[in-house]
Amino acid sequence: MQKAKTRVEIANEYGIHRKTLARWLIKANIVLPGGLVSPKNQKLIYRTFGYPKSLKKESDQEIEEDDD
């Protein structure tokens, strides 16, 4: 099971600054509540922008589990 992450952690997965992630979210009309990013919202981010290379193997397993 995934854990909640900070926006900095998610930005680091993509190799970008947190402010760049914030711009990406604005352009994609994704509004997140304050605080940690829940696993549900992480999936929204990953499906919108693609899974970061650092999570690619992990994401393939999750997609298979979602299909069950």
For the segment 49-61, the average pLDDT, to the nearest whole number, is 76
Cα separation of 6 and 65, whole Å?
Answer: 24
Decide which of 59 and 47 is more confident: 47
Q: What is the pLDDT of residue 65?
A: 52
For the segment 20-45, the average pLDDT, to the nearest whole number, is 97
Cα separation of 38 and 57, whole Å?
Answer: 20
pLDDT digits 0-9 by tens, 40-54? 999 999 999 999 988
Q: Which of 1, 21, 4 is nearest to 13 (CA)?
A: 21
Mean confidence (pLDDT) of the chain: 87
DSSP 5-50: B-HHHHHHHHTS-HHHHHHHHHHTT----SSSBPHHHHHHHHHHH-
